[in-house]
Each structure stands twice: as C-alpha cells, then as structure tokens.
Amino acid sequence: MTIAIEQPELGIEVPTNKNITHDPNELELEEGFKVPEANTFGQTFRDYNAHSERKESVEQFYRLQHINQNYDFVKKMHEQYGKLNRVEMSIWECCELLNEFVDESDPDLDEPQIEHLLQTAEAIRKDHPDEDWLHLVGLIHDLGKVLLHHKFGALPQWAVVGDTFPVGCAFDESCVHYKYFKENPDYNNPKYNTKNGIYTEGCGLNNVMMSFGHDDYMYHVAKENKTTLPSAGLFIIRYHSFYPLHRSGAYTHLMNEEDVENLKWLQVFNKYDLYSKSKVRIDVEKVKPYYLSLIEKYFPAKLKW
C-alpha cells in the first residue's frame, strides 16, 4: 500500500501543463507559469558560457568525455557493469550512498544529490499527484551516479555524468562543446561517422548504444531487478541526459513509434529535473515514508547493482 502524505508546498512553480508538447522552449513562451530564473549560482540554467567558477571545470569535463566515450569504451563498460555483481542494496540505501557527491558536469547544481532527487520528485508530485510512478522516477533517476563511488570502481566523472549521445554513428553538432569530438577515435572512423553509422533509420533507441553513464546504468539496474515501472518511466531514466534529443531534436531519425510516445513523458520530466535545481529545501524525514512505500510498490527490497 502506498502511504498518503500531504501535498508538498514548494517555493517554486513548474508548469502544470497537461498538454504535453515537444517544444522545450515552451516554458519561456507560455504565460502563467513561474519557473525559477536562476540556478544555484544565480545564473540561467544550462548556460555553458556563463562566467562562473564552474565554467572552466565543466568545459574540461566535456573535453575528457568527448575524447574518451567511443564505441569500444561503451561496449567494454556494458560488459563490466552489466553483470550487476558489485553491491546488493535497497533503493533508499543507494540514495544515501549518493549523498556524498556533487556532479561536476552540472553548471546549475552545487548541493548534495539527495536534495536534488527529492526536489525533483516533490515538484512532480505537486503537479502530477496521481502519477506516483513519475514521483518515484524523480527520486531514482540519478541513482546511477553511484558509479562514482569506490564500491563501483570510482569511475571518473566523464564516464558517469554529463549529457549523453549515441556512439556508433556521427556525433551531432548540437552536443555541448562539440569541437572536442574531433579528438574522439570514432570521429574519423568511416564505420561510425555517418548519419546512421551502424544503425538503420527508425531502428528504435533501444537498439542504439548511448555513451556510458548513470542514465543507461540505472536503466539497466531497474530492468534487470524486474521493476514494475511503466515503459515511459524506464525511458526517462535511460535518456534524461540525452539533451541533443530532448532539447535539440537531434537523432530523431533513430526513434521508433514507442520512443516518440515515451519522449512526451521525458519532456514533462525534464522540466522538473532542470528547474528543481534551485534553493528549495526538503524535509527528508517528512517525505521519506511516502517514497519508501513507492519503492516497495515498484521494486524488490534489495537490488543487485
């Protein structure tokens, strides 16, 4: 049974738009919505040119990510991490483990992860009270970041976080700091550097290998541990950092019909992921019983990671 708790009163307003659209710019266009204008550092969200102490390190991060995330690397990581033989723990234990990290790729966020997870989940709960699966997706979407932890081999940040993109086909120019792909070995490989590369038009994202990171890893964990989350929930977890697709509309030629449907939910989710990264504090102990009951509804008590 899911535990009922009172509706959250958050100091932020995110769109309550039930008519899901594909336009990521709609926030700015529509009237009546109030979204925070500034991130933790007082700047607009995802501004990779804003001068902040974070800017240099974010660019440095993307240089490393773009050079190192190639087809062979991703394949090797799938072999290693697909086994799920490192840790056994519950979803909530993982939330607590994650609390030790700050995401270096993120120009907007400078707070412990659990704050971001609960901010996202609570903002969704406020606007979509009946979609309990989506609340849970808010809570767990970043749990794959445990790959940074020494129990998971303490992977470097470029192998865990940042925007994601397909490997095995040409890198799209909408990828942030695109220029650094020129140093990626796949960039000049004729097998991988055409529009479709090793894929076929409309093959479905499920058949496309994405750069390795917390999104794809958490999707794999959820699926292999037999979550009962709906397909859209798994899609959100897997592609929430795929900004070239959900912000820029790149790579749509690889999607199939199910992807098109699921992308609508990802567009809904993304606003909360992004705009909940602001100075809103959540009373963790107060909301914890509700989220524990959701975890129980959709996941086994212990998961293999």
List interacting residues with Fe ion (CB under 5 A).
142, 273
Nearer to Fe ion, 162 or 168 (CB): 162
Nearer to Fe ion, 141 or 192 (CB): 141
57 belongs to an annotated ligand binding site: no
Strand pairing category for 303-304 and 88-89:
antiparallel
Give CA–CA dist 228/222, Å, rounded. 9
293 belongs to an annotated ligand binding site: no
63 belongs to an annotated ligand binding site: no
Give CA–CA dist 218/204, Å, rounded. 19
Q: Which two tokens stand for residue 22?
A: 């594909």
Give CA–CA dist 186/114, Å, rounded. 36
Give CA–CA dist 110/41, Å, rounded. 8
Give CA–CA dist 4/148, Å, rounded. 34
Please name which of 228, 215, 240 lies closest in space to residue 81, comparing C-alpha atoms.
Answer: 215
Nearer to Fe ion, 45 or 199 (CB): 45
Q: In angstroms, what is the minimal distance from the CB of 118 to Fe ion?
A: 11
66 belongs to an annotated ligand binding site: no
Rg (CA), the chain: 18
Give CA–CA dist 224/272, Å, rounded. 26
Please name which of 213, 113, 107 lies closest in space to residue 160, comparing C-alpha atoms.
Answer: 213
Q: In angstroms, what is the minimal distance from the CB of 141 to Fe ion?
A: 5
226 belongs to an annotated ligand binding site: no
Phi first, then psi: what are they for 122, rounded to 5°?
-70, -35
Q: In angstroms, what is the minimal distance from the CB of 142 to Fe ion?
A: 4
Q: In angstroms, what is the minimal distance from the CB of 164 to Fe ion?
A: 9
261 belongs to an annotated ligand binding site: no
Nearer to Fe ion, 142 or 259 (CB): 142
CB half-sphere exposure, 31, CA atoms < 13 A: 0
210 bridge partner residues: 166
105 belongs to an annotated ligand binding site: yes
Nearer to Fe ion, 142 or 216 (CB): 142
Q: In angstroms, what is the minimal distance from the CB of 211 to Fe ion?
A: 13
Q: Which residue is nearest to Fe ion (CB)?
A: 142
Q: In angstroms, what is the minimal distance from the CB of 266 to Fe ion?
A: 12
Give CA–CA dist 263/248, Å, rounded. 13
162 belongs to an annotated ligand binding site: yes
Nearer to Fe ion, 122 or 273 (CB): 273
Q: In angstroms, what is the minimal distance from the CB of 193 to Fe ion?
A: 27
215 belongs to an annotated ligand binding site: no
224-244: b or e for each residue (b if 16 or more CB lie within 10 Å)?
eeebebbebbbbbbbbbbbbb
Give CA–CA dist 279/154, Å, rounded. 28
Nearer to Fe ion, 216 or 259 (CB): 216
In the annotated binding site, the residues are 46, 103-105, 116, 141-142, 145, 162-163, 214, 240-241, 273
In the annotated binding site for substrate, the residues are 46, 103-105, 145, 162-163, 240-241
In the annotated binding site for Fe cation, the residues are 116, 141-142, 214, 240, 273
